[in-house]
Structures are given as structure tokens and as C-alpha cells.
Amino acid sequence: MQNFSGLILALVIIAFLIFVLIKTGGLKDIVFFNLSLGPSTSTVSRSKSGIELIDSSYQKNLVQDKNSKTENQPQNSDHSSSQNQNQSQSSVVNIKPLLGFTLEQLSPYYQKFSISGFYPNAYYRTLNFKIVASNNLDKPVKLTGWILKSNKGFLMKIPKGVPDYYPRFSLSEDFIYLDKGEYLNIYVSNSKPTGLANFNFRLNKCIGYLNNFFNIEPPFPNWCPSLFKKEDLINLSGKCQNFIRSLDNSCRQPTANEINSFAQEKECRFYLDQINYSTCYEKNHKSSDFFLKEWRVFLKNGSEFYYFNLDYLHDRLFLFDENGLLVAEYVY
């Protein structure tokens, strides 16, 4: 009886322990009963396969997204190329031809040259204006052969000119070219040009010396480089030095009377005789900035290059290249 009571008590204690373990979850770790109460292998497999499924789904989405981007890339490139073409075409379309002209009638130099400073004088039947090259030219452009027309018809044809004026040699004319930022001044008179105005030429830093010999309207720029350094003149008299320095940068050549006033100073006369265009040219023509940005052309009304077909009050002028294509317009 006592043994039976002990057994009952042991069973109650075991039942109580099992109940406590079930409540606390500690029963999962008890394996000595061999009751398979812990997590089963199949449960782990299902758990892992679920993670793998999510991971594989995520990676699949990444691959699909990557493939989608890869597949769409050529389309985007084509679209970008199409946009570039459209922009290029729109930029061409944005070049609006003038009234009465089509795109096919525009020169490659359209809007790269302009006409400015157009001043016709009805009383003296004279004219002067300027053709200016823009700063976006890729290379020098030949203007010889270009034609200017008014509403009345042919006005003038741009002739040849002397690119390098050096009077000790024969003046050979060549085509007139303008580079970016350069300009061509054209002067037309009713009388036949004389002297230097028989030629059209590019200006240089020494050209102002020619004002001493030729009556040119308008005069050439009166600024020329210095011909002598201060140390070159230190052996001259103070009076001679002052006179030479007064001529510095003025492009003025001393007159015969001024030179003769220093008759007793042989060395002073030597320097005074050198103040002229030829000396200035020899000392400076190899410098990179010797030539100015300006060309000048002198024409006579009624000559083969020019006819005074203008309305003095208001007119519309057109500049055409040598192929007859429109370059610029000017309205006054």
C-alpha cells in the first residue's frame, strides 16, 4: 500500500513537471522521451524553402529588372539619338529665311557676316559701309566676288586687294579674305580715286605714315609703333631727342625743313631720315599683330565694280556669296 502511494505520488510529480514544461516550452528540448516533440526536419525544410522562395523571387525580380533595363537601353539610346536629331533639325529650322527667300537660298555663311555703318550721301553721290565677320568663323572666308544688291538691282562686286602693302615692291592684288572679327570698309566716291586709293589693301600698324603723302578720306589710323629705343638716342643733343620723341607713335614723318633745321647734327639727321613707312615696316612686319583687322576698298561710282543703284531715303540691301546665296541683309 505504501509502495502504491509512493507510485501515485511519483506519477503526480511527473505529471506536474510535464505540465510545467508544456507551459514554459521547455519540452521542445527534451529528447530522452523520444516523443519527437521538438521542431521537425520537415518544418525546417519548409522554413528554409520559404526563405529561398522569397530570395529567389527577389533575385528573379532583380534579374528581370536588369534585363528590362538592358532591353530598354537601346530604345533609350534610339530615343536620345532621335531627340538629338530632332534638336539638330529644329536648330536648322530655327534659321528662318528672310522674306522672299527659302532655306535652300541661304549661304553657309548666312548670319556669319553682317552689314553695318551704311551711309549713302545723295548730294556727293558717295557711300561707305562695313562688312563684318562674326567671331564664330572656323577659318578665313574669301569675300572677293561677293555681290551686294539693292532693291533696284546690282550695286557692287567686292574686288581684289593688296594683302601686304610694301611700296618697295610691285603691289600685287589677291583675293580678300576675312577671318573672325575682321571687317571690310568700302568707300565709294563719284570721282576717280587717285594715288593710293587706286588700290584696295589690308591695314597694318604702320599704315598711318601714308597719311603724309596721300589725301585719303577717311585718314588712316594715326598710331604707329615706336621706331627707336631711348638708349638709341642718348648720344644725340637734347633738342634732337625732344623732337624725335615728339613724333613717337604719331605716324608723322618729319618734313624737309624740319630735317634741315638739324643740318649741323649729322647723327640726328640720320635718325630723322629713318622716320617713315619703310623703316616702320622693316622693324615690325614680322610681328604677329602687325596686320590690323581692317581691309579698305575704294571704288568709283559707275565703275565695273559699282553702280549707284540706291534709294537714298530707304532701301533694302542683300549680300550674296560667289554662288549667289544670301549671306546678309541690311535695311535702312
Residue 54 has pLDDT above 80, yes or no: no
Check pLDDT > 60 for residue 291: yes
> Which triple of cell numbers denotes residue 304?
565695273
Give the span between the Cα atoms of 241 and 267, in whole angstroms.
11
Please state the domain extents for the chain: 1-38, 41-94, 103-331
Is the pLDDT reported for residue 46 higher than 70?
no
Q: How confident is the model at residue 128 (pLDDT cuts 50, 70, 90)?
A: confident
- Dist CA 246 CA 287 (whole Å): 24
Buried b (16+ CB within 10 A) or exposed e, 47-84: eeeeeeeeeeeeeeeeeeeeeeeeeeeeeeeeeeeeee
Q: What is the pLDDT of residue 194?
A: 64
Set of cell numbers at residue 3 = 509502495
* Residue 323 CB coordination number (10 Å): 9
Exposure of 116 by Cβ count < 10 A (0-12 exposed, 13-18 middle, 19+ buried)?
exposed
Residue percentage of the chain with pLDDT more than 70: 69
pLDDT of residue 145: 96
- 4 pLDDT above the threshold of 70: no
Categorize the per-residue pLDDT at 6 as very low, low, confident or very high, splitting at 50, 70 and 90: low
Q: Is the pLDDT of residue 67 over 60?
A: no
What does the pLDDT read at residue 126?
A: 77
- In tens, the pLDDT along 222-239 reads 999 999 999 999 999 999
Contact status, residue 251 vs residue 211, Cβ threshold 8 Å: yes
Q: What's the CA gap between 192 and 58, in Å, rounded?
A: 92
When the pLDDT of each residue in the chain is averaged and rounded to a whole number, the result is 78
Tell whether the model's pLDDT for residue 302 goes beyond 60.
yes
At residue 204, the pLDDT reads: 97
Pick the most confident of 38-42, 82-86, 152-156, 306-310. Answer: 152-156
Cell of 105: 537660298
Average pLDDT of the residues in 243-262 = 96
In this structure, of 28-37, 232-241, 254-263, the range with the lowest mean pLDDT score is 28-37
Task: Average the pLDDT over 154-163 and give the result.
Answer: 91
pLDDT, mean of residues 75-99: 51
271-278 CB contacts, 8 Å cutoff, 24+ apart: 271/228, 271/232, 271/233, 271/236, 271/240, 271/244, 272/243, 272/244, 274/227, 275/227, 275/244, 275/247, 276/209, 277/167, 277/206, 277/207, 277/209, 277/210, 277/253, 278/167, 278/168
Q: How much is the average pLDDT of 18-37?
A: 49
CA 63 – CA 237 distance, rounded (Å):
95
| CB 275, CB 244: distance < 8 Å | yes
The pLDDT score that the predictor gives to residue 110 is 95
**How does pLDDT run across 275-284, given as a tens digit for each residue?**
999 999 999 9
On the question of pLDDT at 35 being above 60, the answer is no
Query: Over 50: is that where the pLDDT of 80 sits?
Result: no
| More reliable by pLDDT, 158 or 303 | 158
Its pTM surpasses 0.85: no
